[in-house]
Amino acid sequence: MTQEDRFRAYMAAFNASDWANLVPHYSPDIRLVIGSGRELIGRDAIVKFYTTVKATAQRTIEIRNCFADGNVLAAELESEFVALRDAPDFAVRPMMKGDRYYINSCVVYDFVGNEYTRIRAGIFRREYRPLKA
């Protein structure tokens, strides 16, 4: 399996909230810096953060492009968040049920073998679409 194929399987597990198949992609001491600059350290911190996010909003990530070279994979991703309930303290911004939030990001993944050891995300575009204008 190529690193790009492994990445697609990783994203499929993320989109499905399939933590059992997602977690093995991470090294035990992984460091993830999300687009806001917040750093999550370790598998448990990542799962806890995204379990909370996904309880509030459905997040779907589409891979626009990805490539690997050496021990680094880079990807352009488009994410859509759909608020499942009112969330005045949502991770990216306050949202009301049904609101949509889009981000376009570049993410760099360092890996050793089949485990990501460090992930860094930078955001190109953010777009908020309230349910009611």
* Second-level CATH architecture of 3-129: Roll (3.10)
CB 9 within 8 A of CB 22: no
Q: Please check the confidence at residue 64 and state whether its pLDDT lies above 70.
A: yes
Nearest to 105 by CA among 78, 129, 131, 84: 78
86's tokens: 């009112």
Q: Indicate the pLDDT class of residue 133, thresholds 50, 70 and 90.
A: low
pTM over 0.85: yes
The predicted structure's pLDDT at residue 36: 86
Exposed e or buried b for every residue in 20-42, given b needs 16+ CB within 10 A?
A: eebeebbbeebbbbbbeeeebee
Q: Write the pLDDT tens digit of every residue in 1-48.
A: 899 999 999 999 999 999 999 999 999 999 999 988 999 999 999 999
CB 110 within 8 A of CB 71: yes
Q: Write the pLDDT tens digit of every residue in 106-127.
A: 999 999 999 999 999 999 999 9
